[in-house]
Amino acid sequence: MNAKRAYVQTARAAAAARTRQRILDATVALARRQMSVEIVLNDVAESAAVSVQTVLRHFGSRDGLFEAAAAYAVRQVTAERRSPVGDIAAAVRSLFDHYERWGEMMLRLLAQETRDPKTHAVTEQGRELHRDWVGEVFAPMLAARSSDAREIVTDLLVIATDLYTWKLLTRDRRLPRDQAEARVRHLIAAILGESS
């Protein structure tokens, strides 16, 4: 293969990757503003400045697009929520950053999970990710406990750091973020049996 042909193929592959990324970004952006069951391929294509045929060429179907977009969002969320192990203040701060960015979308997904099996699969994966995050971040505080106690405390920490706890404090109670974070840290300290 000559150098010119290799360059053209590399350029085409890079352009295709950028187009695919634009489509994924457009899908996630639309899901932030409306229920995913309401999103149609025309909306995605228009938002990504491509044709519906281009969307289908990259993802095969609407289901294929939404599966890829969900996987893309999960990768973003996982990277965004990384927190220093054992650092409660940093964990709560990164969690609140995450909820500020994704919380409204997550609440919409939870509202439709009983009507859409694909949405339910996404929310179940989110629950697993959250529980894994709790297990990782609070590992030093959980390690010395018996298996039963560790399970109970993990459940309580999942609740204390849950999306609905954030919603209750920041949206329903309308507490300033610093106060809401302080309440979550206080709740975590109480669960762990530490003085606050």
Task: pLDDT band for 22, please (50, 70, 90 cuts).
Answer: confident
157 alpha carbon, distance to own chain's centre: 18
> Around 178, how many Cα atoms within 13 Å sit in the side-chain half-sphere?
0
Task: pLDDT band for 184, please (50, 70, 90 cuts).
Answer: very high
Which residue in the block uniquely carries the two structure tokens 């095969």? 60
185 touches 88 (CB < 8 A): yes
Q: Which domains does the chain have, with CATH numbers?
A: 1-61 (1.10.10), 81-196 (no CATH)
66 touches 118 (CB < 8 A): yes
pLDDT tens track for 137-155 = 999 999 989 999 999 999 9
Which amino acid type is present at position 145? R
Q: What CA–CA distance (Å, rounded) separates 99 from 41?
A: 27
pLDDT tens track for 47-85 = 888 888 888 888 888 888 888 888 888 788 778 888 889
Q: What CA–CA distance (Å, rounded) separates 164 from 76?
A: 20
Say what the pLDDT of residue 196 is.
43
Say what the pLDDT of residue 195 is.
46
pTM for this prediction: 0.75
Which residue in the block uniquely carries the two structure tokens 């949206």? 171
Q: List all residues 6 or more positions away from 119 whose beta carbon is below 8 Å from its beta carbon.
A: 36, 37, 109, 112, 113
* Average pLDDT value for the chain: 87
165 touches 182 (CB < 8 A): no
Say what the pLDDT of residue 4 is.
61
Does the structure show a pLDDT above 50 at 88?
yes
Helix residue spans in the chain (DSSP H): 3-33, 41-48, 52-59, 62-80, 88-112, 117-137, 139-142, 147-160, 163-166, 177-192
Task: pLDDT band for 113, please (50, 70, 90 cuts).
Answer: confident
Closest CA to 100 of 2, 169, 9: 169
